Amino acid sequence: MMKVFISAQLPAITVEKIEAANIEVTMYSQDTLITHAELLAAVQDVDFLITPLSTQVDKEIIDGAPKLKLIANFGAGFNNIDFKYARSKNIAVTNTPVVSTNSVAEVTLGLILDLSHRIVEGDMMMRTTGFPGWSPLFFLGHEIAGKTLGIVGMGNIGQAVAQKARALSMNVQYWQHHQLSDPEERSLGAKYVSMAELLKTSDFISINAPLTDENFHQFNAAAFEQMKKTVALINVGRGPIVDEAALVKALQAGEIGGAALDVYEHEPQVTPVLTEMKNVILTPHIGNATVEARDAMGNIVAENIIAVANQQAPKYVIN
């Protein structure tokens, strides 16, 4: 019987589907993240590995699993896996794109609304000091209708963010290395601009891009200096795209208005000073943390495991 090791707790339907295909399943059941040593010990005799973004799969892990045929990453990203080395060992690496698009887009808009209307800040006030009562100038925020949203990364998630933002009467502009077609832009109501123009003119900037060698610390001190002093930065892409030390300095100096982060440069750690700022919202990487998205992701990894077990090609191979 073929074996699969799952390095984190997954939805029950994922395990049930794999077991129904007569594949033996072992799953790491602790609430903490699996350690490198624990993972190395667990993969020695497995045919398949399912792992989340929080688990690093390096050369040592790959070499320690001589029977390994597939690494199925539970997530749209794959920076946690040495996928090039896996390919040299004839091991396919897959991810779970598309299915988390709507969830991440909803979280993006939720963070924009939270920052604009100071919802989290208000909640903290009510749980601590309370408020003196309604008055015309008390606790003012801003409406997002008519404001300009700049989206960095116009893939599936970026386009979903654009659609939702337009429904809320925002003006949408975007930047990425390639411009969308004219019909795509018109259907989204989005305008293609240079990165410099996006930084200069956006009221909100949403990072919806994957991490690459090129965009590491793309949002650095120089980028913050180009932004409006009132701009709000939202990062639901990948943490290292933002230089957190530079972000802290920009916030402290009043160079930008606020930030909302769902991902972090040194995840799961967050730069401590950020936790003390009222104009910063911090969430624990919950972009696709919905039952619907996680079940769909689990279905993809299960189907890919079963496909390879039956000597068929898996979907969403990234190497």
The set of catalytic residues is: 238, 267, 285
> Cα(6)–Cα(19) distance, rounded to whole angstroms?
12
* Cβ–Cβ < 8 Å for 163, 137: no
Q: Given the structure tokens 């949408």, which residue do they identify?
A: 172
> Cα(64)–Cα(170) distance, rounded to whole angstroms?
51
* Cβ–Cβ < 8 Å for 222, 249: no
> Cα(256)–Cα(197) distance, rounded to whole angstroms?
16
* Cβ–Cβ < 8 Å for 200, 227: yes
Rg of the chain taking only CA atoms, in angstroms? 21
DSSP 120: H
Q: What does the angle CA 202 – CA 195 – CA 284 come to, to the nearest 5 degrees?
A: 65
User: What residues form DSSP beta bridges with 149?
Assistant: 172, 204
Which ranges of the chain does DSSP label H, i.e. alpha helix? Answer: 12-20, 36-42, 59-63, 83-88, 101-117, 119-127, 156-167, 182-188, 195-201, 221-226, 244-252, 291-309
* Cβ–Cβ < 8 Å for 235, 260: yes
